[in-house]
Amino acid sequence: MPIISFMNMKGGVGKTTLCVNIANTLSTYSKEKVLLIDMDPQFNSSQYVLRVLHGKDHVKKYAEYKKQGKTIYSLYEDTNKPHGPITESKNTLFNTKKIDDSHLKKDYTVNVKKNFDMLLGDIDLLNLEINQKSGVESVLAKYLELSGLRSKYKYILIDSPPTYSVFFISSYITCDAYVLPVKPDYLSSTGIALMERAEGSIMNTFGIEKIALGVIYTLIDPRNQLHIPVQQDIKKEIGAENIFKHELKYIKAIPEGLSTGKFMLDIPDFKTDSTIKSMTEELILKIQEKINS
């Protein structure tokens, strides 16, 4: 079961919208068991899904889950607690702070709808002082293995934060491959360049390189042609084979779905439903070609 991260070092590119709606399409249209992990401390994908499914009650619903410890914070909260058998020993000459991973055998996911589970994000991640602990970047990968979740799902998607941080690194280290959502404007090259630098830094530090499934164009304004020369430049730079054929256009009904209770799969306007189906099917093909082959 592949783990796919949705990554871009530039915000506002529709990354969360794409990740959430592909997860929903895999679970509803393809009828596959899916886990969506919200790795961004802004927890936008969690808010997106709960808002669509629970409307005005989404804040209350999230508060219930958080009270139960059903957020990603629980994976890292224990790294700050001096409990368990870790640990640091005053009698050890060469002492490094290690992480007790016994809590990673628990299941912190929630079921949001049929075939669709989430590991909800949490803004409290910003308050955790975890950078001084060794092995923090591998906590998510460890959790998926120790909890048995990796074998439970057909697909695991990670919504990565748009900033270089321990959570961004963890999203990269944990995945098998990643996709790069890009809004084709004249700043899009910045996002691609920043991703290349981030990947290079991770490779140099951890010796790990993941598979790039390709660029997915997002938030294209169908009212003008400003994106075309930008797409042509990107095509010259990275090659047509590294660009998804299907694109996500900016349609007003998509953000409105947050208040009307609709995912893209539920929106027939401008063929939004068929577009997300095609994008999801293309992602599955890319996975089969580049990961499963």
Number of helices (H), then strands (E), in the chain: 10, 7
**Mean per-residue pLDDT for 99-121?**
90
Percent of the chain whose pLDDT exceeds 90: 68
Q: What is the dihedral of CA 66, 71, 77, 79, to 10 degrees?
A: 170
**Mean of per-residue pLDDT scores for the chain:** 88
The pLDDT value recorded for residue 32 is 95
| Structure confidence at residue 190 (pLDDT) | 79
Strand-strand pairing, 34-38 and 155-159 = parallel
Whether the Cβ atoms of residue 33 and residue 176 lie closer than 8 Å to each other: no
Residue 97: the pLDDT is 52
Could you tell me which of 74, 72, 51, 75 has the C-alpha nearest to residue 61? 51
Predicted pLDDT at 186: 79
Residues 196 and 233: their CA atoms lie apart, in Å, by 17
What pLDDT is attached to residue 242? Answer: 94
Position 87 scores a pLDDT of 42
pLDDT computed for residue 129 by the predictor: 52
Q: CA quadruple 2, 8, 12, 14: dihedral positive or negative?
A: negative
Q: What is the pLDDT of residue 96?
A: 46
Please, is 8 exposed, middle or buried when counting C-beta atoms within 10 Å of its C-beta (0-12, 13-18, 19+)? buried
pLDDT at 248: 92
Q: Within 13 Å and on the Cβ side, how many CA atoms surround 132?
A: 6
How much is the pLDDT for 99?
A: 55
Q: Which CATH architecture has domain 3-82+97-290?
A: 3-Layer(aba) Sandwich (3.40)
Q: Give the pLDDT confidence score for residue 26 in this predicted structure.
A: 97
**Would you say residue 10 has pLDDT above 70?**
yes
| 151 SS3 class | coil
User: CA 233 to CA 249: how far, in whole Å?
Assistant: 19
Please determine, for residue 80, whether its predicted confidence score (pLDDT) is greater than 70: no
Residue 282 has pLDDT above 70, yes or no: yes
Cα separation, 163 vs 219, in Å, equals 20
Residues 6+ apart with CB under 8 A from 198: 9, 164, 168, 172
Q: What is the pLDDT of residue 98?
A: 56
Q: How far apart are the first and last CA of the chain?
A: 13
pLDDT given at position 101: 78
Split at pLDDT 50, 70, 90, the class of 277 is: very high
d(Cα 140, Cα 150) in Å, to the nearest integer?
11
Backbone angles phi, psi at 109, to 5 degrees: -80, 160
Model pTM above 0.85: yes
User: Which pLDDT score, from 0 to 100, does residue 12 have?
Assistant: 83
CB proximity list for 9: less than 8 A, separation 6 or greater: 162, 163, 164, 168, 191, 194, 195, 198
pLDDT tens, residue by residue, 111-144: 999 999 999 999 988 877 555 566 788 999 999 9
pLDDT tier for residue 78 given thresholds of 50, 70 and 90: low
Q: Are 163 and 9 in contact (CB under 8 A)?
A: yes
Strand pairing report for 177-182 and 211-217 = parallel
CA distance 1 to 46: 22
The first and second tokens of residue 156, run together, are 């695991």
When mean pLDDT is compared across 83-92, 131-140, 182-191, 233-242, the lowest value belongs to 83-92
Q: What is the pLDDT of residues 201-244, one digit of tens each?
A: 999 999 999 999 999 999 888 888 888 998 999 999 999 999 99
Two tokens, residue 248 = 């996500």
List residues bridging with 220 in a β-sheet: 249
Report pLDDT digits (tens) over 35-69.
999 999 999 999 999 999 999 999 999 999 999 99
Spell out the residues 6+ positions from residue 270 whose beta carbon is closer than 8 angstroms to its own. Answer: 222, 249, 251, 253
On the question of pLDDT at 95 being above 70, the answer is no
